[in-house]
Structure 1
Amino acid sequence: MPDLSSIAPSIAADLPSLGALGPAVAIVAFSAVFRGFTGFGFAIIAVPLLSLAMPPILAVSLSAGLQLLGGLMDVRSASRLCHWPSVRWLAAGAVVASPLGTLLLARLSPDLARLFLAAACGAAVIALASGFGFRGLAGRWATLGAGVLSGLFNGLAAMPGPPALAYYLAMPLQPAQVRSSLMVFFLLSAVLSTGSLVAVGAIGRAETVLILAGLPLMLVGSRIGAALFRRAGGAHRGISLATLALVALLTAARGLNGLLSTGP
């Protein structure tokens, strides 16, 4: 068999230094609170911000692993209200496209990857702010297409959220059903992205240790975010949009600065 680990650069040499661990801990904690507060969005926040302190492929690996572990703790309750017909077709599209996104990530320069991450984050802002919607439940092909886009974002950035959010915000479903469906789909996406990252050598022993170390932050932050949501009521949507827009701008600025500084 071919050595798939040669597709991705060696990650061990690029693990965050002691000076970067403090910001990484703060970013994971904040992203977990955001996830609990909004019901989605851990990777949308964590990947762009972590990519400011470490190589993007490592940021994606940590986010994918933490999403997988965090999703496992919520899947029992979410599966009761999940809209399974849509989740199945979204997952089918993601299965096809997620490995392709991972291969693309392994070949991109860090600064170009940051620009893709910023674009994904900006797409989430547009999806949340737009008011379009389906008149009825989306058809099979529309759902499959949304799954393919989510899979590409998932493999590239462990971030299936923007296409999936746009799809479910356009669906005439109850908010609780939308939230539960997204949680289940994000868990399935995390399984795909984590498996792809392991296959290309981006997640090894060192990355696994970092993922497990971040699990308590994921658990506590999610609980804090859920408590804040119960107190904030409808204010969470505006706060989410403002936060996502800021993250997109910061990440795009970092990527553009890197590309321009290495130019001729």
Structure 2
Amino acid sequence: MPEIVADAFAIEGIGWVFAAALVAGIVRGFAGFGTAMIFLPVATRVVEPVWAIIILMVMDSIGPLPMIPRALREGHPRDLMRLFAGTVVALPVGLAVLFWVDPVVFRVVVSVLSLALLALLIGGVRYRGTLRPPLVYATGGVGGFLGGAVGIPGPPVILLYMASPHPARVIRANSTTYLYGFDLLVLASFAVLGRLWGLPLVLGLMAALPYLLGNALGWWMFRPGYERLYRAVAYGIIAASALSGLWSVIGGTT
């Protein structure tokens, strides 16, 4: 066994990281969202925030890869360009916050933010105005900042597209492409900054295996007639993960 793989398995509690990847994959497979909100509150109890985000981005850049060609064909290129333009501007600010913030503060913020975003999703909160280009740019900026700072870029885009006139397949295609492109942007940023270290990179590749398995299992479990049930289960798992992150701070555990 290569030494770096042995080092990965030697990390105390690393099994929880792989378990969180599996559960996040299952939920992503049957509900289509929730990966970061499930994975990060658990992973940051085991590894530092920067490592957790590297692991997340690596595994999440592998999982959707087979879907990207179709998503590019079915998506709305102009919207994607606007989203990415806003993201590129705001991402460095978010990453600066990530590198600066205390790990305990990160765990609290990511858990509270996950619960807040979950409340918005459950409440059906959505933008009801016209989707003009400046709003799409701004949404990309918010996604870039949140994604860089706490690893959760998706909800602003999802909430925006709830009001979109585009067909459902276009919305899903754009969301998939945006999140995949965001993963690549973050990984490239870490590489340029010299922070794409060997061990978290290997951990990301290792976590990709249960994540892919979870995606396949969740996809197999999906039945259109039970969509509300799947969403309820996803919401419950996201809430449990976020609350566990808060409890680890309040209870003084890691």
For this structure pair, what is the TM-score category when the shorter chain's length is used for normalisation? 0.7 to 0.9
**Superposition pairs for residues 122-161 of structure 1, below 5 Å?**
122-135=115-128, 138-161=131-154
Query: Does the residue aligned with 2:222 lie in a helix, a strand or coil?
Result: helix
Q: Which structure 2 residues correspond to residues 167-186 of structure 1 after superposition, within 5 A? A: 167-186=160-179
CA–CA separation in structure 2 for the residues paired with 1:46 and 1:179? 21
Match of 1:163 among 150, 156, 159: 156
Distance 1:164 1:248 in 2: 21
Deviation at 1:200, TM superposition (A): 3.5
Residues 1:16 and 1:93: Cα distance change in structure 2 (over 3 Å)? farther
User: SS at the partner of 1:138?
Assistant: coil
The normalised TM-score by structure 2 is 0.87
Task: Tell me if the contact between 1:123 and 1:162 (Cα under 8 Å) persists in the aligned partners.
Answer: no
1:112 CA drift (Å): 0.4
Q: Distance in 2 between matches of 1:59 and 1:16?
A: 15
Matched, 1:74 2:60: no
**How many pairs align?**
246
Give the CA deviation at 1:64.
1.1
2:241 is the alignment partner of 1:247:
yes
Which residue of structure 1 lines up, in the alignment, with residue 15 of structure 2? 22
Q: C-alpha separation between the residues in 2 aligned to 1:89 and 1:142?
A: 9
Name the CA distance, whole Å, in 1 between partners of 2:29 and 2:164. Answer: 22
Q: Which of 90, 105, 120 lines up with 1:97 in the alignment?
A: 90
Pick one of 96, 101, 105 that aligns with 1:108: 101
- Corresponding residue for 2:112? 119
Question: 5+ residue gaps in structure 2?
Answer: 1-6
Conservation of the 8 A alpha-carbon contact between 2:72 and 2:173 = yes
In structure 1, how many angstroms separate the alpha carbons of the residues matched to 2:92 and 2:152?
13
Of 53, 58, 65 in structure 2, the residue corresponding to residue 65 of structure 1 is: 58
Structure 1: where are the runs of 5+ without partners? 1-13
- Which of residues 196, 202, 225 in structure 1 aligns to 2:195? 202
* Residues in 2 aligned to 1:159 and 1:133: alpha-carbon distance in whole angstroms: 18
TM-score by length of structure 1 reads: 0.84
Do 1:34 and 1:225's aligned partners in 2 also have CA atoms closer than 8 Å? yes
Deviations 1:66-90 (Å, cap 9, x if unpaired)?
1122232320122232233322211
**Aligned-pair CA distance for 1:257:** 4.7
RMSD of aligned alpha carbons: 2.3
Query: In the alignment, is the contact (CA less than 8 A) between 1:68 and 1:187 conserved in 2?
Result: yes
The one-letter code sitting in structure 1 at the alignment partner of 2:230 is: H
In structure 1, give the amino acid aligned to 2:240.
L
| Whole-angstrom CA distance in 1 between matches of 2:116 and 2:87 | 18
Aligned to 1:238: 232
How far apart are 1:137 and its partner, in Å?
5.0
- Give distance in 2, aligned partners of 1:141 and 1:15: 44
- Alpha-carbon separation, structure 1, partners of 2:74 and 2:90: 26
Alpha-carbon shift at residue 18 of structure 1 (Å):
4.1
Q: Provide the secondary structure at the position in 1 that maps to 2:33.
A: coil
Distance 1:219 1:46, change over 3 A: same
Contact kept? 2:12, 2:46, Cα under 8 Å: no
Using the alignment, how far apart are the partners of 2:146 and 2:114 within structure 1? 10
1:32 alignment counterpart:
25
Corresponding residue for residue 207 of structure 2: 214
2:223 aligns to what SS in structure 1? helix
Larger mean Cα displacement after TM superposition, 138-147 or 16-25: 16-25
Question: What residue identity is the alignment partner of 1:71?
Answer: P
Q: Which has the higher contact order (CA 8 A, sep 6+)?
A: 2
